Amino acid sequence: MIDRIRTTIADLQADMIGWRRHLHQHPELSFHETNTVRFVVEKLRAEGIEVRDGVGRRTPDAPGTGAIALVKGEKAKSDACIAIRADLDALPITEVGKEAYCSKNPGVMHACGHDAHTAMVLGAGIALHRLRREWSGTVMLVFQPGEEKEPGGASLLVKEGVFNDPKPAGILGQHVTPELPIGKLGFRTGPFMAAADELYITVKGRGGHAGSPHLCIDPVPIAAQLILALQQVVSRRNKPGQPMVLSLGKVIANGATNIIPDEVRIEGTMRTFDETWRTELHRMLPELGRGICEGLGATVDFRIVKGSPVVKNDPELTARIREAAVAFMGAENIVDMDIRMGAEDFAYYTHVMPGCFFRLGTGNPDKPGTQSGLHRAEMDIDEDALAIGAGMMAWGAISERRV
């Protein structure tokens, strides 16, 4: 069956490259993937695959921009089901390079590989449909919106009950990985990717003339003290050896050379692996902020938006999918991954059903951009990885012993 999948995927390789490049040229931000999901649905329905669109509603009056498709094997009657997932959204990044298929939407780019994820799950689903007489059970194709933005499209699909009928025995996901060479797959059992929370902080003082700081409450040095104190939480309050990251990527003090501003706005992210420590941080950090700011005459609005939990790879499912990967790729091409402080809303799936999230090597030193990190303006992939990823998703789904 592996050879049949390889052959069918090879027949789809040119299509997958075309799909990926089309999506790359027409990226859409989280929860605005209207044209993206329409493109996917049209391709699936053209193959005769059952599709339900309009899922993943962020608000009751907003249209859902996700889709669920069911590919059914006909070899024997079976109620078994396994899901494979793709994410649809792009990032607010202005792209550089890739003139042949560069983004046509200014300031929006598929810099995280979701265009490739979508093309690969689309290819895997179509391949399995064409081979439906050779396997049994159901493979659910999950095309979710909003992976890059809270509340996370995965959480919305879970809340909407899209996995209730049929109910998958497990779910597979993969992510392009530039630091892994093309032809490699990376696996890890248990906790894999961090829980992520967003920090929104506003330090409020009293602005005025920069030449008269004694008449002001300058929020800039107060914010600076708070930033340093938050870093000391990581180095001095966090247990040594316990993974944690706190990064503040946006600081706005909108004054001028001769103007002290009224406030400083700070935004960042907090990544953890321990849920008890995460809960304690939600209590501790606003309290720390109030203590520093009020002690220096300012006030603070310290808001933490709770994001996705830890990605937990189910040991049994991951072991079986890893075995399938060895059969599909060869043991020499399967590598062990360390934990990653990046976050993934695939985590929501792993907290309600067994999940296996693995990494797909897409780096090639001979192809520009393919070794660039994710979320960078020059990020690209070696498109030969599309056949590998699509084939592995298809084989992993039907080789899973419950399907």
Catalytic residues: 89, 147
CA distance 57 to 64: 4
Q: Is the dihedral of CA 159, 165, 171, 177 positive or negative?
A: negative
Note whether 170 and 402 are within 8 A (CB).
yes
Q: Which letter, b or e, does each residue of 339-360 get, where b requires 16 or more Cβ atoms within 10 Å of its Cβ?
A: ebebbbbbbbbbeebbbbbbbb
Strands 355-363 and 171-181: parallel
First to last CA, the chain: 14
Q: Is the dihedral of CA 38, 353, 185, 154 positive or negative?
A: positive
Note whether 24 and 110 are within 8 A (CB).
yes
Q: Quick one: which of 98, 70, 138, 33 has its CA closest to 382? A: 98
Note whether 141 and 125 are within 8 A (CB).
yes
Q: Which position has the token pair 């938050």? A: 230
